[in-house]
Amino acid sequence: MEQWATKEEINAARERLESGHTGYQRPAAYAVGVHRDGETTFGLTNVGTSPLPAIVLAIECGHTRGTATYELTPARLASAMDALAPAEACVELKHPNLVEWKRLAAELEDKGGQPVAVFVGDLSDSPVDQHDRAFRAAIA
């Protein structure tokens, strides 16, 4: 299994993934949350940070640019976690997105719910749905 043990290797992997995902533009903000009992919640949000998890998640969702939300399956969330896992070899970084995605996957197994990915292309974009509105409230 490929491993990215240094910040340089992580940056190189990110650059490779971004350049290989045709039309991709980094989002201004993104997160994975859970929709349960009519409410979407987020344990970790990213605003202008963490571009590697953003591209990994974008590839899994088929997202390239703009503001959009995607309902995920637990299997697709697991696939995104697997794609990001090589970054764990870099002990200089804490990998909060991977930690959160693992926590969320365990929570989904225990409590159920629908994992949801939200990407905001520009913070001035209007929210596109209830998941995006919940995300905007979380980052406000």
d(CA 109, CA 139): 26
SS3 67: coil
Q: What token pair was written down for 66?
A: 């703009």
Using one digit for the tens of pLDDT, what is the confidence trace for 80-102? 999 999 999 999 999 999 999 99
Would you say the C-alpha torsion 88, 2, 75, 22 has a positive or negative sign?
Answer: positive
The helix (H) or strand (E) run that includes residue 77 is helix 74-84
Q: Please, are residues 118 and 69 in contact by the beta-carbon 8 Å criterion?
A: yes
Q: Kindly report the average pLDDT of the chain as a whole number.
A: 96
For the chain, what are the domain ranges? 7-139
pLDDT band at 121 (very low <50, low <70, confident <90, very high): very high
Q: With 90 as the cut, is the pLDDT of residue 1 above it?
A: no
pTM of the predicted model over 0.85: yes
What is the pLDDT averaged over residues 46-56? 97
Q: What tokens were used for 67?
A: 């503001």
What is the percent of the chain where pLDDT is above 90?
Answer: 99
CATH architecture of the domain with range 7-139: 2-Layer Sandwich (3.30)
Could you give the CA distance from residue 48 to residue 13 in angstroms, rounded to a whole number?
19
Helix or strand or coil: residue 95?
Answer: coil
Report residue 112 as tokens.
Answer: 């159920």
